[in-house]
Amino acid sequence: MTTPIAVTVAGSDSSGGAGIQADLKTFAALGVYGASVITALTAQNTAGVSAIHDVPAEFVTAQIDSVFSDLDVNAVKIGMVAQVATIDAIAAGLARWSPKHVVLDPVMVATSGDRLLPEAAVAALRTKLIPRASLITPNLPEAAALLDEPVAESEAEIESQGKRLLQMRCPAVLIKGGHGKGAESIDYLITAGGIAAFAAPRIATRNTHGTGCSLSSAIAAGLAKGEEMETAVRNGKAWVSAAIAAADRLGVGHGHGPIHHFHRFY
């Protein structure tokens, strides 16, 4: 019996709702064994982030090599990477170990609209990590930031931005529509073969902490289990939508609480 294994390379969320913790919960909820490479420690809760401590790049390298030298990794999810040296370490690790699937969630813009990455790190993402990804999953502001363009406001503009992101040598782009308007939240998967739209009702809840992390890790879990890209995206979107819909069943924190990763179980 082979066990599907996914690795998350991301920052730690001390309150458990996003980052490494959300990724590992997602992997577990979807029947995938999860391992982790921690790029940063955060002091945060549902009200916000109060401090960030970056893990030295050489220790990121040590984690990567320890995990990949022992575990038969089927897919990798990459989240928070704020330092150029960390991006270099991850890119070198991917080159050494050549995992089949890499899902990159380019965490660049905070919910407030603030840029989270210095320009040098954004440039390194474009040139060093995006070309090694099977899929990148920017939201609307992040897609715009990667291209130095205004945020797309129509399906035609989203498709156009997706096609330009493909030119960064990534075979698939999922532009997430959670920041859009309307009764539905629509994500668009753009590949050389065309565009596919995945719609779900927009859910009225303040408990959406970790949504983006969890979607990218849900897609990585599907790929780890052998699903095709479009199937992994469709299943991941459906699972996250259900986790958001069930979020108010949890009573966690006094701010923007987490989604319910284990909504299928309790």
117 located within any domain: yes
- Looking at the 3D structure of the chain, how many domains does it have? 1
* Residue in this structure with the two tokens 């958001």, named with its chain if needed: 244
Range of the domain at 131: 5-249
Tens of pLDDT, residue by residue over 119-158, are: 899 999 999 999 999 999 999 999 999 999 999 989 899 9
Bridge partner residues of 189 (DSSP): 174, 196
264 located within any domain: no
DSSP-derived secondary structure letter, 73: -
Active site residue 193: no
User: Considering 8, 26, 42, 208, which one is annotated as catalytic?
Assistant: 208
234 located within any domain: yes
- For the domain that residue 86 is a member of, what is the CATH number? 3.40.1190.20
* Span of 180-184, 218-222, 235-239, 259-263 with lowest mean pLDDT: 180-184
User: Considering 16, 46, 180, 213, which one is annotated as catalytic?
Assistant: 213
Q: Within 10 A of 228 (CB to CB), how many other CB atoms are there? A: 10
Q: Using a CB cutoff of 8 Å and minimum separation of 24, what contacts does 195-199 make?
A: 195/159, 195/162, 196/230, 196/233, 197/155, 198/233, 198/234, 198/237
pLDDT category at 182 given cuts 50, 70, 90 is confident
User: Considering 93, 162, 177, 210, which one is annotated as catalytic?
Assistant: 210
**Of 228, 76, 102, the residue nearest 169 (C-alpha):** 102
85 located within any domain: yes
Tens of pLDDT, residue by residue over 65-111, are: 999 999 999 999 999 898 999 999 999 999 999 999 999 999 876 65
Whether the predicted pLDDT of 19 surpasses 60? yes
Predicted structure pTM score? 0.96
**Given this model, what pLDDT does residue 184 score?**
86
Active site residue 213: yes
Q: Burial code of 98-110, b = ≥16 C-beta within 10 A, e = fewer? A: ebebbbbbbbbbe
* The token pair that represents 49 in the structure block: 């982030």
Task: Please give the angle made by the CA atoms of 78, 64 and 220, to the nearest 5 degrees.
Answer: 35
User: Considering 39, 176, 178, 257, which one is annotated as catalytic?
Assistant: 176
259 located within any domain: no
240 located within any domain: yes
User: Considering 19, 177, 178, 212, which one is annotated as catalytic?
Assistant: 212
CA dihedral 234, 238, 244, 247 (to 10 degrees): -140
Active site residue 26: no
199 located within any domain: yes
Tens of pLDDT, residue by residue over 196-205, are: 999 998 888 9
Active site residue 176: yes
255 located within any domain: no
User: Considering 211, 222, 236, 257, which one is annotated as catalytic?
Assistant: 211
